[in-house]
A and B are shown apart, each in its own frame.
Chain A
Amino acid sequence: MPETYLSVKNLTHAYGRSALFSGLTFDVTPGTILQVTGKNGSGKTTLLKLLSGIKMPQEGSIEWTEEDCAYLGHKNAIKTELSPLENLALYQPDTSACALALEDLGLEKLHHHRPCYRLSAGQQRRVALSRVILSNAKVWLLDEPFTALDDTAKAHLIRHLTRHANGGGSAVVATHERLDLEKSLLRELVMA
């Protein structure tokens, strides 16, 4: 296992002349969950997009030792005409593993074959989170993952984050929610 999955050095990003953040330096190490907090517009989403490679750094560097990461943005990136199982089949061909992941996040079997447009916002979010869990990626990049989730689903996600970190994985989670994780797993990055 590498010492760090991800090493960020002097990362700077600006929109026009106004700097969003500058000189950001941190590591993402195995077995930790990095919570990114900060007020609206402080650059949490931009940071996650930079880490995932969707955006290119303007200054500074991002070094990955892992090839693969799983990204969940503000939106679910699911196709609502397809059922949860059909959406997940794109990432995992084993249908029973997909069904298990959905059930594990509290999405009952009767919803597995329904088109996603018939599901509630919270249920759709669970489908998107199942995709992350099924990805087998060592690093999860989650942008406001608790959006639209009820307390039960939030507890399920916290359990998955704990299991992921205990298994040597790590996650960068941008959220305003308090992450109810063991202190030894949790690190915090506050965006000014």
Chain B
Amino acid sequence: MTVQRYFLFCLKLLFRQRREVALPLFFFLIIASLFPLVFPAKLLATLAAPALWITTLLAILLSLNNLFREDVEDEFVLQLLTSPTPLSLLVAVKLLAHWLAYILPLFIALPLMGLWYNLPTESLSVLALSLLLGTPTLLILGALAAALSAGLKQGGTLLMLITLPLAMPILLFALSMVDMSASGLSYAAAGDFLFAMAVVSVSIGPYVIASALRISME
């Protein structure tokens, strides 16, 4: 099992599971579309970033529910554990495929949401940048919780309970980026923080998740 072959394998599998893969995107579109219907138009510009960020966070959590569960149930994870390729590399590849299949489509849906929320292009760009910087960390945090809860019956609930508090700093810094941009201030500090978090989590996350998976299978 090589890294390249496993990456292609993950993409092919996600393509075959496209109905399940599309669910978080539909969840995002439906929930994000509800806010403009129930809130007054004058509030929408202020509400757009928090609403879209929270919906994205929930859509990512929804997608993570099955990240490792199926692999544990069909014992595919044992093939990963016994592979000569380091488990952390295989985990990194799986997460990259997951980001491409589940999170990238959210970015494609973002211009549509911009129109729906009547967001200026500048605000939409900063929102997209904050998502680009924040989602890798969210994915790593969620994947860690998914690895720890993969063998448990109530794993989905536990996943939410572990990930949501850990995701708060990401959410706050991302929203402060959009706020500062809207006020005409520099959002570089918040952006740098999110970037640093992404670099740290992407660098060490796969090792930690691999260890969590090993512990889950013990």
0 or 1 for each of A47-84: is its CB under 8 Å from B? (1 = yes) = 00000111110000000000111110111111111100
Chain B residues with CB below 8 A from A26, complex form: none
Question: A93 — nearest CB in chain B belongs to which residue?
Answer: B5
Say yes or no: A79 contacts B74, CB within 8 Å: yes
8 Å CB interface, B54-78 against A:
73-76, 78
Question: Closest CB of chain B to A186's CB: distance in Å?
Answer: 24
CB distance B74 to A76 under 8 Å?
Answer: yes
Interface of chain B: mostly helix, strand, loop or mixed: helix
A77–B79 contact, CB under 8 A?
yes
CA distance in complex: A173, B54 (Å)? 51
Contact assessment for A68 and B84 in the assembled complex, using a CB-CB cutoff below 8 Å: yes
Closest residue on chain B to residue A55 by CB atoms: B218
Contact B6 A74 (CB under 8 A): no
Cα A47 to Cα B16 with chains together (Å): 35
How far does the alpha carbon of A8 sit from the alpha carbon of B1 in the complex, in Å? 27
Residue of A52, A71, A79, A115 ringed by the most chain B CB atoms within 10 A: A79
Residues of A close to B13: CB separation below 8 A: 79, 81-82
Q: Which of B1, B79, B82 has the most CB of A within 10 A?
A: B82
Docked-complex contact B1 and A91, CB < 8 angstroms: yes
Query: Contact partner of A69 among B12, B73, B82, CB < 8 A?
Result: B82
In Å, the complex CA distance between A93 and B6 comes to 11
Task: Write out the residue numbers on chain B whose beta carbons fall within 8 Å of the beta carbon of A75.
Answer: 73-75
Q: Number of contact residues on B: which range applies? A: 10 to 19
Whether B217 pairs with A54 at a CB distance below 8 angstroms is yes
Q: Kindly state the separation between the CA atoms of A104 and B218 in the bound complex, as whole angstroms.
A: 35
B26, CB-defined interface residue at 8 Å: no
Write out the residue numbers on chain A whose beta carbons fall within 8 Å of the beta carbon of B76: 77-79
Is the CB–CB distance between A81 and B16 below 8 Å? yes
The digit string for A79-101, where 1 denotes a CB below 8 A from any CB of B, is 11110001001110100000000
Are B78 and A53 in touch, CB under 8 angstroms? no
Q: Which of A35-52 contact B (CB under 8 A)?
A: 52
Q: Which residues of chain A are within 8 angstroms of B84 by Cβ–Cβ distance?
A: 67-68
- Which one of B9, B17, B78 has the highest number of Cβ atoms from chain A below 10 Å of its Cβ? B78
Whether the Cβ atoms of B74 and A90 lie closer than 8 Å is no
- Would A86 and B12 be within 8 Å (CB), given that A54-B217, A77-B76 are in contact? yes
Closest to A75 in B: B75
**Which residue of chain A lies nearest to B218 when distances are taken between CB atoms in the complex?**
A55
Say yes or no for B81: interface residue by CB 8 A criterion.
yes
Output the least CB separation between B30 and chain A (Å): 26
The residue that A53 contacts in the complex, of B6, B12, B81, with Cβ under 8 A, is: B81
Report A-chain residues with C-beta under 8 Å of the C-beta of B1. Answer: 90-91
Q: Are A73 and B75 in contact (CB under 8 A)?
A: yes
Residue ID in chain B nearest A54 by CB atoms? B81
Rounded to whole Å, the gap between the CB of B201 and the closest CB of chain A is: 27
* A-B contact sample (16 more), CB < 8 A, given A52-B82, A86-B9: A53-B81, A53-B82, A54-B78, A54-B82, A55-B218, A71-B78, A71-B79, A71-B82, A75-B74, A76-B75, A77-B74, A79-B74, A86-B12, A90-B1, A90-B6, A91-B1
A-B contact pairs, 29 of them (CB 8 A): A52-B81, A52-B82, A53-B81, A53-B82, A54-B81, A54-B82, A54-B217, A55-B217, A55-B218, A56-B218, A67-B84, A68-B84, A71-B79, A71-B82, A74-B75, A75-B73, A76-B75, A77-B74, A77-B75, A78-B74, A79-B13, A79-B74, A79-B76, A81-B16, A81-B17, A82-B9, A82-B13, A86-B12, A90-B6
In order of increasing CB-CB distance, the 4 nearest A-B pairs are: A81-B16, A75-B75, A77-B76, A77-B75
